[in-house]
């Protein structure tokens, strides 16, 4: 009797494809035939490999280039969906490329998780009969050979200054830098030293390979930026083969060019690096190393969301200091967390469409993401009943031992999904909040003397309540009207203001339910306080034992439902077992954080 989702693959509600400045660039490039004669051998490589190959079947090539040093977070979804989305829309290909040139913090665990999350988001890098999954570490020989090429052309030198000396001679925004005393080393000396660096003859930090551009450039990033450093570190894929590693700003353009990327889309903080990106590629193309036309870098503004932190440093701190239960804690803004929480990939797609792409930095309200998740969940989720804070209700005039069926719609907006039977009997569970001994003004639910409808069932009249010695309400008593059953002739002659949900106590199943709320209670947790941890929401996780309707006892992991009045819930993908369900709340039915509520 497993109950899945109404539709597991439901697409986000349709939104017209809105154009943006990146689409405009691609449209113009395609119209001008900029990449029309570009060739592609089928594998990443230098000009030698690509030049004589056939025309690239991909109209454009984009890439998503994560560094495998952590889990993907909400911010990454913007980049994943943008890059894979553009490739899909323009008959192109998006590569998943691991930018694994920085050995110390990288690990296979992160590679596996990122692949999983990209698939979950619908990113497809298998196109034109090939899998476009690449690792920058597979290009180490190219980075090295191209660095020697720059040395041979007098465009790179080994600098033996200390890091402090280099910092001190870099200059500032207003002052030019000073040339290194090692800047005029001969090509032969530079080659010899660079090879010694590669062969492990020098300690970390003793030498560095720099490009020779202009120490007086108004752009500090063009003042002889470093491209290779010594690092005696074990790499998770290449082991101990290398003890020198390329710098990101040098490796990245080369990776793009080797992979025939046309549009290299990155976040705004790389804007100042674009001149160096272009410089590296132009020089290497001039020396015949790279296929042309060359990739172009395009920057867009990163996603900033309120009530959460997205920086890997902060996320790691939350995990390592046990403020959360791991990277996949449903409160974490990671994709593994989002999935456990019951968020959907379709919800992230809707969100990405709604926020769009631009060059202006801004903060997006968390409620926008939550609303998108809600919209998708509302579409796809079957309705169920759960009582989260149970109070016993006894129908005094209902025969003991009798059970009958009431019928509840599976989805009020989709009558074609039918109804399900809910057992009705003498003893019920209702929500404690649905009874008040002395009702406040405007309270229409149960109080002595008042009538309400047990939703999809009978109309009842409250006649009193039992209390324990401490005065706590232990049970509510009522009488039902036998001719008021929903859906039977005449039942609508009963006019009541209250309508509450219920579960037959003898049939309901007990289950662990986890109620999640925002992890931080301040919109900008890392601002205005010395410590972002001060803004943690102490009530972000609550674990309760709830009662569920019997049809929920045996559901598949990750099945999602709306629990009427309570929100959207998912069967925990790790802990929920057939016969022993565990549910996580993804999001409430309405935004409880909105001003004034």
- Pick out residues in 375-394 that bind ligand ATP (CB under 6 A): none
When asked if residue 542 is in the footprint of ligand ATP (CB under 6 A), the reply is no
Of 79 and 576, which has the nearer Cβ to ligand ATP? Answer: 79
The residue within the footprint of ligand ATP, chosen from 206, 311, 506, 510 (CB under 6 A), is: 311
- Is residue 539 part of the annotated active site? The answer reads no
Q: What residues from 432 to 491 belong to the interface with ligand ATP (CB under 6 A)? A: none
Q: Smallest distance from the beta carbon of 8 to ligand ATP, in angstroms?
A: 27
Q: Which stretch binds ligand ATP (CB under 6 A): 171-179, 310-318, 511-519, 581-589?
A: 310-318
For ligand ATP, the closer CB: 103 or 498? 103
Distance, CA of 502 to CA of 393 (rounded, Å): 9
Rule CB under 6 A: say whether 75 interacts with ligand ATP: yes
List the interface residues with ligand ATP, window 34-73 (CB under 6 A).
65-67
Of 303, 372, 382, the closest CA to residue 549 belongs to 382
Which of 34, 302, 414, 461 lies at the binding interface for ligand ATP (CB under 6 A)? Answer: 302
Q: Total number of residues binding ligand ATP (CB under 6 A)?
A: 14
Query: If binding is defined by CB under 6 A, does position 264 make contact with ligand ATP?
Result: no
Of 171-179, 309-317, 383-391, 565-573, the window that binds ligand ATP (rule: CB under 6 A) is 309-317
In whole angstroms, what is the distance from residue 369 CA to residue 365 CA?
7
Q: Which of 43, 267, 481, 499 binds ligand ATP (CB under 6 A)?
A: 267
Spatial separation of the C-alpha atoms in residues 54 and 42, rounded to whole Å: 9
Name the residue nearer to ligand ATP (CB basis): 282 or 355. Answer: 355
| Positive/negative CA dihedral, 223, 224, 227, 232 | negative
Among 166, 310, 421, 533, contact with ligand ATP (rule: CB under 6 A): 310
* CA dihedral (262, 266, 268, 274) positive or negative: negative
Choose the binding region for ligand ATP from 303-311, 416-424, 509-517, 520-528 (rule: CB under 6 A): 303-311
Cβ 554 to ligand ATP shortest distance, Å = 39
Residues 79-108 close enough to bind ligand ATP by CB under 6 A = 79
By CB under 6 A, residue 358 contacts ligand ATP: no
495 is catalytic: no
* CB nearer ligand ATP, residue 266 or residue 391: 266
Alpha-carbon distance of 146 to 281, in angstroms, equals 10
| Distance in angstroms (rounded) separating the CA atoms of residues 546 and 512 | 6
Long-range pairs of 476-482 with CB within 8 A, sequence gap ≥ 24: 476/391, 476/392, 476/393, 476/394, 476/430, 476/435, 476/446, 477/393, 477/394, 477/396, 478/393, 478/394, 478/395, 478/396, 478/446, 479/395, 479/396, 479/397, 480/395, 480/397, 480/398, 480/454, 482/458
Which residue has 């020697």 as its token pair? 148
CB 35 within 8 A of CB 293: yes
- Single out the residue of 146, 272, 266, 269 nearest to residue 211, CA to CA: 146
The piece of 26-34, 88-96, 306-314, 530-538 that touches ligand ATP (CB under 6 A) is: 306-314
Whole-number minimum distance, CB 310 to ligand ATP, in Å? Answer: 5
Q: Is 565 a catalytic residue?
A: no
CB-neighbour burial class of residue 17 (10 A; exposed 0-12, middle 13-18, buried 19+): exposed
Tell me if 38 sits within 8 A of 291, measured CB to CB.
Answer: yes
Residue 236 as a binder of ligand ATP (CB under 6 A): the answer is: no
CA distances (Å), 16 to each of 12, 350, 430, in order?
A: 11, 11, 43
Nearer to ligand ATP, 281 or 382 (CB): 281
- Residue 586 CB, nearest approach to ligand ATP (Å): 21
**Token reading at 9:** 């693959």
Outline where 32-107 has alpha helix (H). 47-50, 74-89
Cβ closer to ligand ATP: 282 or 310? 310
Min dist CB 289 to ligand ATP, Å, is 24
State the minimum distance, in angstroms, from the CB of residue 59 to ligand ATP: 21
Catalytic residue among 302, 354, 414, 455: 302
Please tell me the total number of residues recorded for the chain in this structure.
597
303 near ligand ATP, judged by CB under 6 A: yes
Q: Which of 34, 59, 67, 404 is catalytic?
A: 67
First to last CA, the chain: 39
266 near ligand ATP, judged by CB under 6 A = yes
Q: Does 368 bind ligand ATP (CB under 6 A)?
A: no
DSSP assignment letter at 515 = E
Q: Are 488 and 403 in contact (CB under 8 A)?
A: no
Residue of 59, 198, 312, 541 with catalytic role: 312
Query: Which range of residues in 74-82, 358-366, 382-390, 528-536 is near ligand ATP by CB under 6 A?
Result: 74-82
Nearer to ligand ATP by C-beta: 302 or 414? 302
How far, rounded to the nearest angstrom, does the alpha carbon of residue 508 sit from its chain's CA centroid?
A: 35
Choice between 66 and 581, CB closer to ligand ATP: 66
What is the per-residue DSSP string for 399-453?
PTT--EEEEEES-TT-GGG-EEEEEE-SEEEEEGGGB-SSPPTT--SB-TT-EEE
Which pair of tokens denotes residue 283?
Answer: 């020089």
Name the minimum Å distance from CB 138 to ligand ATP.
18
The 10 Å Cβ neighbour count of residue 309 is: 22
CA distance linking residue 501 with residue 523, whole number of Å: 34
Q: Active-site positions?
A: 67, 302, 312
List interacting residues with ligand ATP (CB under 6 A). 65-67, 75-76, 78-79, 266-267, 302-303, 310-312
């Amino acid at each position: 009797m497993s109950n899945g989702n109404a539709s597991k693959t439901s697409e986000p509600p349709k939104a017209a494809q809105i154009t943006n400045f990146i689409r405009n660039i691609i449209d113009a490039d395609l119209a001008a035939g900029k990449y029309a004669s570009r060739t592609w051998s089928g594998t990443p490589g230098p000009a030698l490999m690509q030049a004589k190959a056939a025309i690239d079947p991909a109209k454009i090539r984009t890439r998503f280039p994560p560094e495998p040093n952590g889990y993907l977070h909400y911010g990454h979804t913007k980049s994943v969906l943008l890059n894979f989305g553009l490739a899909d829309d323009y008959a192109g290909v998006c590569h998943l490329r691991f930018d694994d040139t920085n050995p110390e913090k990288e690990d296979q665990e992160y590679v596996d998780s990122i692949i999983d999350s990209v698939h979950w988001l619908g990113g497809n890098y298998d196109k034109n009969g090939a899998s476009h999954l690449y690792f920058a570490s597979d290009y180490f020989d190219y980075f090295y050979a191209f660095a020697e090429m720059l040395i041979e052309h007098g465009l790179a030198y080994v600098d033996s200054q200390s890091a402090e000396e280099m910092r001190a001679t870099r200059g500032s925004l207003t002052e030019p830098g000073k040339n290194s005393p090692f800047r005029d080393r001969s090509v032969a000396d530079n080659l010899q030293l660079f090879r010694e660096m590669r062969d492990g003859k020098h300690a970390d930090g003793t030498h560095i390979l720099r490009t020779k551009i202009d120490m007086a450039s108004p752009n500090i990033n063009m003042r002889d930026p470093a491209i290779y450093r010594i690092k005696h570190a074990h790499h998770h894929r290449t082991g101990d083969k290398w003890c020198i590693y390329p710098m990101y700003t040098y490796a990245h353009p080369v990776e793009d060019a080797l992979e025939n990327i046309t549009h290299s889309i990155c976040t705004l903080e790389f804007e100042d690096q674009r001149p160096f990106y272009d410089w590296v590629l132009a020089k290497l193309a001039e020396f015949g190393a790279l296929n042309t036309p060359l990739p172009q870098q395009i920057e867009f503004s990163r996603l900033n969301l309120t009530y959460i932190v997205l920086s890997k440093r902060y996320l790691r701190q939350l995990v390592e200091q046990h403020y959360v239960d791991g990277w996949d804690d449903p409160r974490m803004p990671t994709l593994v967390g989002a999935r456990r929480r019951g968020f959907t990939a379709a919800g992230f797609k809707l969100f990405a469409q709604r926020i769009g792409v631009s060059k202006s930095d801004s903060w997006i309200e968390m409620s926008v993401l939550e609303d998108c998740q809600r919209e998708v969940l509302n579409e796809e989720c079957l309705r169920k009943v759960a009582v989260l804070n149970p109070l016993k209700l006894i129908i005094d005039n209902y025969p003991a031992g009798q059970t009958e069926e009431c019928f509840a719609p599976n989805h009020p907006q989709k009558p074609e999904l039918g109804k399900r039977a809910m057992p009705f009997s003498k003893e019920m569970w209702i929500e404690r909040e649905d009874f008040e001994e002395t009702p406040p003004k405007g309270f229409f639910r149960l109080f002595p003397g008042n009538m309400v409808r047990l939703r999809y069932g009978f109309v009842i009249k409250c006649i009193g309540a039992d209390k324990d010695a401490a005065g706590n309400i232990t049970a509510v008593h009522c009488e039902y009207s036998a001719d008021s059953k929903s859906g039977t002739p005449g039942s609508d002659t009963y006019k009541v203001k209250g309508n509450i949900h219920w579960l037959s106590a003898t049939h309901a199943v007990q289950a662990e339910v986890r109620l999640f709320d925002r992890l931080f209670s301040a919109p900008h947790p890392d601002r205005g306080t010395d410590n972002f941890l001060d803004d943690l929401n102490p009530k972000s996780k609550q674990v309760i034992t709830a009662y569920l309707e019997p049809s929920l006892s045996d559901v598949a992991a990750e099945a999602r439902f709306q629990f009427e009045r309570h929100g959207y819930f998912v069967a925990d993908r790790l802990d929920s077992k057939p016969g022993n369900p565990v549910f996580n709340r993804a999001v409430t039915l309405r935004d409880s954080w909105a001003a004034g509520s």
